[in-house]
Structure 1
Amino acid sequence: MIAGLVILFFVFAGLYADVLWFNQLGFLSVLTTQWAAGAALFFVGFLAMAIPVFVSIQIAYRMRPVYAMLNSQLDRYQQVIEPLRRLAMYGIPALLGLFAGVAAATRWQVVLMWLNRTDTGTTDPQFHLDVSFYLFDLPFFQAFLGFASAVVLISAIVAIATTYLYGSIRVSGREILVSKAARVQIAVTASLYLVLQALSIWLDQYSTLTSTNDLITGAGYTDTHATIPGRAILAGIAAVVAILFLVTAIIGRWRLPVIGTALLIVTSLLLGSLYPWVVQRFQVDPSAKSLEAEYIQRNIDLTRNAYDLSGVTEVPYNATTTAEPGALRADATTTANIRILDPALVSDAFSQLEQFKQYYQFPKNLDVDRYTIDGKSQDTVVSVRDLKLSGLNAGNTWVNSTIVYTHGYGVVAAYGNQRSADGQPVFLESGIPTTGSLGTYEPRIYFGENSPTYSIVGAAADSKPVELDYPSGTDGAQQTYTTFTGNGGPKLDNAFNKLIYALKFQSEQIFLANDVNDQSQILYDRDPVTRVQKVAPYLTLDSSAYPSVVDGRVKWIVDGYTTSADYPYSTPVGLSDAITDTETPAQPFALDKINYMRNSVKATVDAYDGSVTLYAWDTTDPILKTWQKIFPSTVKPMSDMSGQLMSHVRYPADLFKVQRHILSQYHVTDPGSFYSHDDAWTTPNDPVSPSTNTTLQPPYYLTMQVPGSEKPAFTLYSTFIPDATGTTSRNVLTGYLAVDSDAGATDGVRSAEYGKLRLLTLPKANTVPGPGQVQAKFNADPTVSTQLNLLKQGQSKVLNGNLLTLPVGGGLLYVQPVYVQSTGETSYPLLQKVLVAFGDQIAFEDTLNKALDVLFGGSSGAQAGDTSVPTTGTTTPTTGGTTTPSTTTGNPATDAQLQALLAVAKQAIADKQAALTAGDFAAYGVADKKLSDTVASMLALLGQ
């Protein structure tokens, strides 16, 4: 008894903690709605199972024959069971009802969506029903019929067992004797079961629109002309057999229902399997291209609509492969914003330059955002400086990890298109306390992706702050302390709440510590994605939240999707597979196989107080409208967004990955071409990933002007190459997908161009190298290889950054930053070189500006934003490789000067490498300058 009470109190503690958490956040209605729906369905499921089973047992028992002739075996069974009969009659229905109740409670979302369903205004092309029938009605009806069938079947089983045990059914030789009461009960139960099966078979007609065959998802020719009519006939036959069982209950003869059941089985084999196979094999297969054209077109249209791709603009792009002088003048804004800072490689640089203390950290992959600096939009690489409690080492006590070290500090942001003279990021926001171009904002990060499991804040011991704010201070102080003043978590203002959380986190210190007082709050579930998921359980969330400085606060922006697997004629996608690439690892989803997706909600989480705000982003989405009925007043209208927040909203990467996956096949809108599979594409593998890794290249955010658009915009893009499954892959570009990711300026008005997808289709006659080919050329070019080998000397390694592809200059420009990192413990990658390619031409220079000038003849009109550093040589572009100038002239005096200068250059190269290995970047710069001057003198002697 005591143990049971203890268990119940632990359960209560968990539930009460949830109430406190949701109530503090202002979303208590979300929790209570789930609980109410789950509880109601539990009782419905419990009663719906327990009552029929109980009634079935009672009828079978009460209608048993009084003087039944039982065999000795059954007589012994009765003697054993009789003392437990009453317990079994109540216990078996109760136990089955418990399982049924739990199963029913888990379906609360299906039931609530059906009760609050919203019409879509779109009808399917086969049955001409509103698509809402497939999204909301059909899943509910199928779940209901499945549950009801299970109840009836179990009721029949227990009835048969009871009647047999008490002699209503007896086996005498080869004859089975059934009493009248048992016959009526079994026949009526069988009739009810067949009625349910008839309804289920009838609904299976509609399921053909979401089933996948060898060609498409949805009903094809065979389904329409054989499977669907066959299921309608089978449903009718099942209904007739149900009537025959009722007849048996009245007249007492089993022959008719037995014959009817046999007919149903045979007919199901003929109409459900054989006839569709015959139609497919002998009618469809010989003429599939023409007969399936109508259904392929349905699949194309509805798949594109389900993934919000019906508005894709196709732009023929006759890409040239020859770099012409001045070709980049029309793309000056794009080239000025080319991001040479790779957010996947500069995390170590951020850590070494901006971490300051061992208890701070930066994530492995940083985020890309944009800010208006001096009136111009600037792409930036950003991150927050979050806590790392493991860095405290021996100081990682409960007091330190819970009460003292409670929050990270500040946003660190670097220009995406700049680097310092020695290859470091150029920060526009940095330092502790924070300084820079982002203005004044609340820098404390109490809610982040790496925040501690829980912290206790808000209490000041003896009126003195105890929470470490940042590791510097005034008047000689080494630290500055603060006290949390927001409303970020449940209050620990009474002994009961302290006890609840001591049990939840299994820490008696929460209850006993003197530093926990009436002003204390406990912060937990601090990851932004976790917080949004709890208050909006119906959303599938993007794999990456990103921080932005908005209205004087650091806000985490999280994209939320409504998804479904029940959209008619839409091809399903494995969500985890579609979004996995070199930057996003595979992850599980509650609903992984989907065939409908909308970015319906934009959510924010305040990094200081953890407040969550949901904004309705796609107001036309019927699934979101349905959930707004279920959880009213939890989602705010988009008009409530501030202008600054709107300016930082971007098109979500996970949705874009799913869309590019679909467009790899469904860019083809002609049924004949789709059937022939003659123009299928795929996303290229990331060329900078290990050769054994076939992970896809991620999409990249860049500010650029895509052909077909009127002005430059913050854009997310990806490329396509031919799908050569099972054959040798041709890594040439076939398509370029870009989406406008600028939601709007600071005026708060959503841009009409936001979400506009443009698909550049490249001509098949011209071969435009794909990312794999370009990377291979970079690696194979002799001059590039020589310079890379020089950079690799000693204990240094060369890291290739993200390979960017930009539609500029009438063709496709590739840009790749090259980083050098020594192997020391405190080393970090330094951006030293930039590789660029256009067609078959390559340039490898110290800066992007110089590389573009070399590639486009020195008068390209490009004005890239990277900071100039001394060059180490000039590369002349050639087809298929690079060349260096000759070191002989035929004049002995000049040749002698060249040889002397060459010796100086070699020594300068050695000095550079020694300085790089030692991490002495001042000496590195001196040697680099000496090498540059020497090469310039050599070129002057050569007349170049």
Structure 2
Amino acid sequence: MRNRKLLPALAGATIIGALVLYAAFYFVFLDFFVDLWWFRSLEFEAYFWLRLLYRFIFSGAITLFFFCVFQFHFWIASRYLGLNPPDEVLLDDKKRRRFQRFADVFIYGSAKVYTPVSFLMAVAVAIPFYLQWEDALLFFFGSASGIKDPVYDNDISFYLFSYPMYILIQKELLATAVIALGATGVLYWSEHVFIPNQGREFPVGAKIHLTVLFLFVVFFVAWGFVLDRFTLLYSNGREPVFFGPGFVDLRYKLPLIWMSALAFLSIAGLAVFYVFAEQHRSKTPIVIAVLSFLALVGLKNSTFLPEIIEKFIVKPNPTRTEGQFMQYNIDATMAAYDLNNIDTIDLPINVDATKDIEQWATQKNFENIPVWDREYLIDSYKQLQSIRPYYTFPTVDEDRYFIRGHYQQVNLAARETNVGNLSQEAQNWENTHLRYTHGYGAVVSPAAQDADIPIVWYMRDLNLSSNVGFSVKFPDIYYGMEQYKYAVVPNKLVSENISGSDAEMARGYIGKSGVPIPSYFRKLLFAFYFKDEKIFFSPNISTNSKLLIRRNIVDRIATLTPFLHLDKDPYLVVDKDRFYWIQDAYTLSNMYPVAKPAADDFLDGAQKFNYIRNSVKVVVDAYTGKVEYYICDPDPIITAYSRAYPGVFKRLSDMPENLKAHLRYPRDLYHMQMKIFAKYHQNTPEAFYEQAETWQFAMVGGEPVLPYFITMNFERCNGLEEFVMINPMTPFNSNNLSMVGLAGTMDHKQCNPLSYKPGITIYKFPKEVQVNGPSQVNALIDQNPDIAAQFTLWNQLGSEVKKGRMVILPMGNSILYVQPIYMLATKTKMPELARVIVSIGNQVVMDKTLAAAFNHLKALFIKDAASPASGISVDTGN
């Protein structure tokens, strides 16, 4: 009968045990070993174990610490300090035995309760530390930066590394002290109430113990006040004028924080004195201290007095009362966003651009003006060069290559595979994971093209034909921008005519990367991992096969180094051996003191930060998936990670020169920096407060002109072309052009394309000369009757006219505008470059080639040099 009653309980325990084992196997064992094998295949096994070691040593040490704290206080409270029998109880055997019997229950029996309770409480308190273990890593490995904050004169590294941890430690230790004080107080009360023959007074030892815990609470609260003063550095109360502490914060709130801390310590001291003093127990001092503390806290959080100060002291003379604090914000923001090394050049503008046109109109420059926007070019690539239905081009990149004796700007795109483009019946398991496993080759075309003719190609087709010397030994692309599923290669399937028409193109994978599948046991584990039994039963997977996973390069890098924040635009590099991807990575922090937070449209929009560095260039081999990290800006954060993970990050000087020649300034970073610089270039309190010269992104058709790449000789490096990004800006609420920013990577002292030195140059235009902005040039184009007539004609012939990106270039002492005109067929939507519009001053010319347009411009300026704004010439090309 008894066995029958045990059977349901035993069955339930068996089922629960089986579920626990399955969960442990599926969510812990499988993930752990697949990750381990994957990291090992990338030669990051030591890094894998080190991250695991840091995480579990830190988590375990923190849990053990809090467990010991709770266990120690419960132990001494139950064993020693809570027992207080009178002398007559100890002399009476009956009373003593009764007292001892109940005391033993508390001394020994309570250990069965407070030991697991201590563990659970330790885990609960330590959870925030588990989540922020990487902050602790920076805390231990971070070092001084040598830069001081302007308010408290602390090293910036204190705010990047120490301050976040101090906030966490203070909160958790305060919570621990409060819990320990409350729990031990309950334990002492229980002993006093439930153990018979206790003394009337609480034991002195218990009072001392509780007082010590109380003093710990007091200390951690006081520490909180000390840390609270640093929150003033991140005050946004003076926005939108400036960010950071203002007059009210540092002259009113900061003294109140110190006085509140002193008042709280006075309350604590008087409370301890009240507990232990046998005479003169007056509550009046405590009441006065408490009321003073509450008054100080109320004053700090009230708005009445700050508003009075603001109205009668600050607003009558803001630059005098808060000029110093504005300067703090300006200096900190410029440093936090790496804007202190901008080179500003005042560029005088020539009204007569004839001389500039003659000097600038060379064949080299014509070959580098980008007239194809990648937003339009990608459609042409897909329709003209996909060739097979399973190939696609996820994105188009810009770069420069040494072609025909000089650096020439090109557009290029990797031909990747997307099985989703196949018919539904062809999207089976073998095709997805064994056959259509990779892309093949790339296309390259010059950025400058003539209109009304087919696209010129520098690399094309599946045979990768090139008439300018492009050649790639391993053109297969197993890792790229597509959302690739796992692949098993090489395998026993014969994949003919997938990549090309010859056997060489159909060769199997011979790379060394990938997770080996040497046994049926691993096949079984992978089948469980992917919930796909075909991995185990497929006869086409051999012991030489390897599993390729995490093949999207962004996911790949993010899984390897989740503490790096990745740029949205990785780009392709064509090398003689194979293709590579270069990914810009950033280190961010939201704890830089007094620096304005960035806008929320950077990266994925979820990152809140006010400090950024493009600290790492990541290189991913498109064939093997090998990932290498190179430090290009050794800021304090990446330096700390480099110390924590030795061997993961390499010096930039170790990067192969064939890749270093293609490094560039990140587009997203430059865009974000210019957003900040548009206001903060006014670097005196008076100018900053007036905001008379605030800039904004130049607009065309209601849309901002975003930074774009161009390769050009800017006469800074002995005729050598530079690959830079250009960003035009206009005054706030104005259309005139104020400045053109250039962001490049060439060291102008060495003038060596392999000498990576990122920098920004600002060309500012004189205020007394009107320089047309993009929207004004766009209006000139729209107002020209010949151009308007031509657009109307094209729009009626089964096509649609689209204006491309407006390219703005400093050309000597003139500003050149170039805008491509596309025609889109209404059926295919494939764009065709129809014409190119060129403008200088108020002259507008449209032609098929840049050379022809320049000749027209030159003729116009020579013909009417006295009044160059009088005529507009158009060659419609009919």
Q: 1:558 to 1:716 in 2, by over 3 A?
A: same
Shift, 1:384, TM fit: 0.4
Shift, 1:163, TM fit: 6.9
Shift, 1:665, TM fit: 0.7
Partner of 1:407: 438
In 1, are the aligned partners of 2:472 and 2:574 still within 8 Å (CA)? Answer: no
Letter of the 1:764 partner, please give it: K
Shift, 1:49, TM fit: 4.2
Q: Are 1:734 and 2:738 an aligned pair?
A: yes
Q: 1:744 to 1:270 in 2, by over 3 A?
A: closer
Letter of the 1:242 partner, please give it: A
In 1, are the aligned partners of 2:352 and 2:861 still within 8 Å (CA)? Answer: no
Shift, 1:279, TM fit: 4.3
In 1, are the aligned partners of 2:361 and 2:851 still within 8 Å (CA)? Answer: no
Aligned mates of 1:30, 1:746 — CA distance in 2: 37
Aligned mates of 1:330, 1:399 — CA distance in 2: 57
Aligned mates of 1:709, 1:325 — CA distance in 2: 21
Shift, 1:779, TM fit: 3.0
* Match for residue 835 of structure 2 among 813, 833, 836: 833
Name the SS for the 2:623 alignment partner: coil
In 1, are the aligned partners of 2:844 and 2:874 still within 8 Å (CA)? Answer: no
Aligned mates of 2:571, 2:750 — CA distance in 1: 19
Give runs of aligned pairs for residues 416-565 of structure 1, distance below 5 A.
416-419=447-450, 422-436=452-466, 437-460=469-492, 465-466=494-495, 469-473=498-502, 480-565=505-590
Shift, 1:370, TM fit: 0.9
Q: Are 1:802 and 2:810 an aligned pair?
A: no
Which deviates more from structure 2 when the two are superposed, residues 239-248 or residues 647-656?
Answer: 239-248
TM-score normalised by L of structure 2: 0.86
Q: 1:884 to 1:498 in 2, by over 3 A?
A: closer
In 2, are the aligned partners of 1:383 and 1:411 still within 8 Å (CA)? Answer: yes
Name the SS for the 1:755 alignment partner: strand
Shift, 1:284, TM fit: 2.6
In 1, are the aligned partners of 2:584 and 2:618 still within 8 Å (CA)? Answer: yes
Partner of 2:642: 628
User: Structure 2 regions of 5+ residues with no counterpart?
Assistant: 1-16, 86-108, 195-200
Letter of the 2:385 partner, please give it: E
Shift, 1:356, TM fit: 0.4
Letter of the 2:375 partner, please give it: A
Partner of 2:91: none
Cα deviation, 1:162-204, whole Å, max 9, x if unaligned, reads 67788869xxxxxxx9998886665544432221121121123
Partner of 2:289: 260
TM-score normalised by L of structure 1: 0.80
Letter of the 2:855 partner, please give it: D
In 1, are the aligned partners of 2:512 and 2:624 still within 8 Å (CA)? Answer: yes
Name the SS for the 1:767 alignment partner: coil
Number of aligned positions between the proteins: 818
Q: 1:748 to 1:452 in 2, by over 3 A?
A: farther
* Match for residue 387 of structure 2 among 344, 356, 359: 356
Cα deviation, 1:209-248, whole Å, max 9, x if unaligned, reads 3433314333333333333333233333333333334334
Letter of the 2:457 partner, please give it: F
Cα deviation, 1:571-603, whole Å, max 9, x if unaligned, reads 2213x4246xxxxxxx244xx222221111111
* Match for residue 387 of structure 1 among 412, 417, 420: 417
Aligned mates of 1:486, 1:778 — CA distance in 2: 54
Give runs of aligned pairs for residues 871-886 of structure 1, distance below 5 A.
879=869, 882=872
Q: Are 1:113 and 2:138 an aligned pair?
A: yes
Cα deviation, 1:132-167, whole Å, max 9, x if unaligned, reads 222212222122112212222333454566677888
Cα deviation, 1:78-137, whole Å, max 9, x if unaligned, reads xxxxxx998864555444433333321111121111111121122223332222222212
Q: Are 1:211 and 2:225 an aligned pair?
A: no
Q: Are 1:341 and 2:372 an aligned pair?
A: yes
In 2, are the aligned partners of 1:646 and 1:748 still within 8 Å (CA)? Answer: no
RMSD between superposed Cα atoms in Å: 3.4
In 2, are the aligned partners of 1:647 and 1:742 still within 8 Å (CA)? Answer: no
Q: 1:622 to 1:749 in 2, by over 3 A?
A: farther
* Match for residue 701 of structure 1 among 681, 701, 709: 709
In 1, are the aligned partners of 2:726 and 2:742 still within 8 Å (CA)? Answer: yes
* Match for residue 856 of structure 2 among 854, 857, 874: 854
Letter of the 2:619 partner, please give it: T
Give runs of aligned pairs for residues 13-28 of structure 1, distance below 5 A.
13-28=30-45
Shift, 1:836, TM fit: 2.0
* Match for residue 783 of structure 1 among 779, 786, 802: 786
Q: 1:598 to 1:113 in 2, by over 3 A?
A: same
Name the SS for the 1:417 alignment partner: coil
Aligned mates of 1:284, 1:149 — CA distance in 2: 38
Aligned mates of 1:808, 1:14 — CA distance in 2: 58
Q: 1:815 to 1:796 in 2, by over 3 A?
A: same
Shift, 1:283, TM fit: 2.5
Q: Are 1:602 and 2:617 an aligned pair?
A: yes
Name the SS for the 1:779 alignment partner: helix
Q: Are 1:716 and 2:700 an aligned pair?
A: no
Shift, 1:400, TM fit: 0.8
* Match for residue 294 of structure 1 among 324, 327, 346: 324
Aligned mates of 1:794, 1:297 — CA distance in 2: 60
In 2, are the aligned partners of 1:469 and 1:482 still within 8 Å (CA)? Answer: no
Q: 1:855 to 1:414 in 2, by over 3 A?
A: same
Letter of the 2:370 partner, please give it: R
Shift, 1:355, TM fit: 0.5
In 2, are the aligned partners of 1:237 and 1:264 still within 8 Å (CA)? Answer: yes
Partner of 2:99: none
Partner of 1:767: 770
Letter of the 2:475 partner, please give it: P
Q: 1:435 to 1:325 in 2, by over 3 A?
A: same
In 1, are the aligned partners of 2:716 and 2:748 still within 8 Å (CA)? Answer: no
Aligned mates of 2:270, 2:39 — CA distance in 1: 56
Letter of the 1:2 partner, please give it: A
Letter of the 2:684 partner, please give it: D
Q: 1:418 to 1:710 in 2, by over 3 A?
A: same
Partner of 1:244: 270
Name the SS for the 1:543 alignment partner: coil
Aligned mates of 2:401, 2:712 — CA distance in 1: 15
Shift, 1:676, TM fit: 1.4
* Match for residue 298 of structure 2 among 269, 282, 286: 269
In 1, are the aligned partners of 2:367 and 2:446 still within 8 Å (CA)? Answer: no
Partner of 2:101: none
Q: 1:763 to 1:519 in 2, by over 3 A?
A: same
Partner of 1:35: 52
Which deviates more from structure 2 when the two are superposed, residues 183-192 or residues 112-121?
Answer: 183-192
Aligned mates of 1:882, 1:683 — CA distance in 2: 27
Q: 1:103 to 1:127 in 2, by over 3 A?
A: closer
User: Structure 1 regions of 5+ residues with no counterpart?
Assistant: 68-83, 170-176, 580-586, 724-728, 861-876, 886-930, 936-944
Cα deviation, 1:369-403, whole Å, max 9, x if unaligned, reads 11111221110000100001112222111011100
Name the SS for the 1:430 alignment partner: coil
Shift, 1:520, TM fit: 0.9
Shift, 1:851, TM fit: 2.0
In 2, are the aligned partners of 1:315 and 1:707 still within 8 Å (CA)? Answer: no
Partner of 2:601: 577
In 1, are the aligned partners of 2:485 and 2:549 still within 8 Å (CA)? Answer: yes
Shift, 1:33, TM fit: 2.6
Q: 1:300 to 1:512 in 2, by over 3 A?
A: same
Shift, 1:551, TM fit: 4.9
Shift, 1:322, TM fit: 5.1
Letter of the 1:345 partner, please give it: Y
Q: 1:100 to 1:43 in 2, by over 3 A?
A: farther
In 1, are the aligned partners of 2:333 and 2:596 still within 8 Å (CA)? Answer: yes
Which deviates more from structure 2 when the two are superposed, residues 845-854 or residues 96-105?
Answer: 96-105
Aligned mates of 1:846, 1:710 — CA distance in 2: 31
Cα deviation, 1:294-337, whole Å, max 9, x if unaligned, reads 22223222221222211111111233455436634146354442
In 1, are the aligned partners of 2:490 and 2:510 still within 8 Å (CA)? Answer: yes
Aligned mates of 1:840, 1:384 — CA distance in 2: 40
In 2, are the aligned partners of 1:820 and 1:832 still within 8 Å (CA)? Answer: yes
Aligned mates of 1:331, 1:625 — CA distance in 2: 46
